[in-house]
Amino acid sequence: MCGSPRDFGSAARGISGAQRAGHGGGGCCARGLSVVVGGSGFTGQFVTEEVAREQVDPEGNCRLPWAVAGRCWEKPQGVLERAALKLGRPTLSSEVGIIICDISNPASLDEMAKQATLVLNCIGPYRFYGEPVVKACVENGTSCVDISGEPQFLELMYYKYHEKAAEEGVYIIGSSGFDSIPADLGVIYTRNKMKGSLTAVESYLSVHSGPELEGRSSLKEIEPHLFADEDSPLHGDILEFHGPEGTGKTEMLYHLTAQCILPKSEGGLEVEVLFIDTDYHFDMLRLVTILEHRLAQSCEEIIKHCLGRFFLVHCSSSTQLLLTLYSLEATFCSHPSLCLLIVDSLSAFYWIDRANGGESVNLQESTLKKRAQLLEKLVNAYRLVLFTTTQSIMQKASDSAEGPCSAFSHPRDAHVDYRPYLCKAWQQAVKHRMFFSKDDSKSHTQFSLVSRNLKSNNLKTHFFIIGESGVEFC
């Protein structure tokens, strides 16, 4: 059980005055009801009893209209009769409405939601049975409260229904009460150990977010060859590596990762890195090889310590990437030395998103726009630096054909083959863009990158080769 049977008590006591309208009682249900869904389940029975207890005035009259919803009439009626007996209110079952609905029947949930202003959802486990109720509430302008303690369900509901709920002006409140078992065990322990009668227990929840985020290290020294003092990545900066496949973008990410996770005694920054791999191109053996070449004396124990500062996440879909980003706040809070976030690559699902969006540009860009906004929020809130890669999938048009949409406006930019195709939200979030290319004409393959600081508009060109030990600047 994810929440205490009494966790809904505060919600029951806090129903707004707009709901205090008259009702027909005994099953006559008009808009304005508070509805306990799943009232005949284990938790639902306690919630039904708590609502019945709290929503009665000193004269014994019901303060506001409410109902219990279930798959059949008999079970909710039985719950109401037992609550009436326990509370000494013989007329309770005739005062409270009963609504028949089933999560496998969306139309019945819609009818229930249309009659309610607030739904107390007791149908769990929520990851299996919670969404149909949330969906019906959002689509019918009804607020919903549950006691879910299931992070995946909470994150998915936020991702799928937040914007619609905001448009409708309704509240979807998850986890209004959770983790009752530790509290209940504490009550039982106190009762067993205490001499005398235990009449009341108050428990408190303390939330800790880890060390102060202001202590997060700077990455100004991450790579002097790439970043002069005025161009060094600062907290909150977003940098994009752009270029065709095979131009050294991922190798450069390995290089920067190694610089971060190596100990200070070996010339590294000794900070943590979170690497999100969407292309499934990440090669752990390659990173270990680079680390071994960078260490003055390579040994398994030092390599393990370095990799202990490295976190790797794989995402196979646009939605999974978005949900992963939503779930990262706890990681950033609990790891103050996590300074660098890497996404390789942000454009991996571009064509899939376009296909799923149909002919609407807004729908095509919807998920990427959310990712861009969330990434910008995360790097600013947690003082991170973000490196991402994007693929070159469109050729730069000739100068005469570019018109006002051209990414560059100076003649010196002509050698950079770049034309923006990702959403405007992402283009505005990027602070620094680097354009990668490869030159096979020489005896050994040489790579180049043009670095452009979008704040100062400075352009710099760098050359490097890729050897066994990783990136080597020329």
Per-residue pLDDT tens digits of the chain, which is 474 residues long: 333 333 444 344 333 332 323 333 444 444 678 999 998 888 899 999 999 998 877 776 777 899 999 999 999 999 999 999 999 988 888 889 999 999 999 999 999 999 999 999 999 889 889 999 999 999 999 999 998 888 778 888 888 899 899 999 999 999 887 667 778 888 889 989 988 888 888 877 765 544 444 446 666 778 888 876 556 667 778 999 999 999 999 999 999 999 999 999 998 999 999 999 998 889 999 999 999 999 988 788 999 999 999 999 999 999 899 899 988 888 887 888 898 999 998 999 999 988 988 888 888 888 889 999 999 988 888 888 899 999 987 655 444 333 333 333 343 444 556 778 888 889 988 988 999 998 877 667 899 999 888 877 788 899 999 999 999 998
pLDDT of residue 460: 87
Residue 319, amino acid: T
φ/ψ of residue 434, rounded to 5: -125, 130
User: What integer pLDDT is reported at residue 208 of this predicted model?
Assistant: 54
Sign of CA dihedral 6, 7, 11, 14: positive
d(CA 141, CA 117): 8
CA distance 66 to 437: 67
pTM for this one? 0.58
Distances, alpha carbon 231 to alpha carbons 92, 241, 312, 376, in Å: 71, 15, 27, 19
What is the C-alpha separation between 22 and 229, in angstroms, rounded?
70
pLDDT value at position 417?
61
The 3-state secondary structure of the chain, one letter per residue: CCCCCCCCHHHHHCCCHHHCCCCCECCECCCCEEEEECCCCHHHHHHHHHHHHHCECCCCCECCCEEEEECCCHHHHHHHHHHHHHHCCCCHHHHCEEEECECCEHHHHHHHHHCEEEEEECCCCHHHHCHHHHHHHHHCCCEEEECCCCHHHHHHHHHHHHHHHHHHCCCEECCCCCCHHHHHHHHHHHHHHCCCCCCCCCCCCCCCCCCCHHHCCCCCCCCCCCCCHHHCCCCCCEEEEEECCCCCHHHHHHHHHHHHHCCHHHCCCCCEEEEEECCCCCCHHHHHHHHHHHCCCCCHHHHHHHHCCEEEEECCCHHHHHHHHHCCHHHHHHCCCEEEEEEECCCCCHHHHHHHCCCCHHHHHHHHHHHHHHHHHHHHHCCCEEEEEEECCCCCCCHHHHHHHCCCCCHHHCCCCCCCCCCHHHHHHCCEEEEEEEECCCCCCEEEEEEEECCCCCEEEEEEEEECCEEEEC
Identity at 431, one-letter amino acid code: K
Nearby residues of 29 by Cβ (< 8 Å), 6 or more positions away: 23, 65, 67, 97, 99, 115
pLDDT (0 to 100) of residue 56: 78
Nearest CA to 457 among 439, 433, 440, 437?
Answer: 433
Q: Are 223 and 267 in contact (CB under 8 A)?
A: no
Report residue 166: phi and psi, to 5°: -65, -40
List phi, psi (to 5°) of 308.
-65, -15
Q: CA geometry: angle at 243 spanning 238 and 246, to 5°?
A: 120
